[in-house]
Structure 1
């Protein structure tokens, strides 16, 4: 009698395991089909066009602008020391200030506190962003990085690994790949040729292939 009960128990356990495994596989299959259907609804197979490096950079720059606008005007809880995590921020008594040095390729963020009871201002937190010599400087990405560091927040990898620009736009600061002269692009034609004046006074007239974009802040 005992052996019969144990046999029935073991059989029931085995059936339960098989049912659970079948349920798991069915759930995976359903999840895959749902995800595939959702993806096709947004971008049907055969019609998806990947974005270019320039378009990706443009998206990151816009993301940085929104980030700075939101973080510098929104109250957030936190600590009063970066040693204990993200810092508190109150736009009613604290102000975000930026010190931009395009020549040194740095952006420093100062969060200053002004007491409503005393005529005194002090710096609460400070964050800095420095652009590598091999990268194109962008003040908007720099501000987002510096502000997040001042607030003790994580810096998104998109800001730290933004692709380099590939298209010269009006207002970009460029450098000749052979002459190393620096100029600001005042006009760009449909072929990608940039026009302007180098710092030496010589006229800029060159295709994008002959230029390095060193600052695309366009401010």
Structure 2
């Protein structure tokens, strides 16, 4: 990775630059292997300056994970112009494409040591909560009123999505299109009654 030429940046720009370098480095190594020294060298700044923007190495790592999660949510944002089932299919296609493009980062964060850290888990939980909210928000459009059972089922479905996608990344025995369809059809099968599932899938 090339060293970034040192330039005068605003505090916001410098902080964003450091996080971006960390995200790029995350594609090549695990989170715990990203050192303050390497980031400072890449940015062309002193190690002490990095700690001006982040309280600790851990704080910097959390910022990287927050950025990565925000990027994934942005890439999978629902398209309001589509029908509910097509919104879901489009979001799952974007999700599969995102994790395919960032497979090492994705697997490292969800299965690496970061997943056991309370601060990291808080970020992951917020990300999953937002993904669940997006799904649940579509249900009233189909005349389906979410309840506690349905909300719990959606969260269980998200765990299935993560596990199925990671397994597929490691050993893709079905096509991308087949994976997307599996993820889409699994949601109504898990969360909805037979009649509501048929309504959502258009059967």
TM, length-normalised to structure 1: 0.23
Greater helix percent: which structure? 2
TM, length-normalised to structure 2: 0.25
Greater strand percent: which structure? 1
Q: Which has the higher contact order (CA 8 A, sep 6+)?
A: 2
Look at both structures and tell me which one has the larger radius of gyration over its CA atoms. Answer: 1
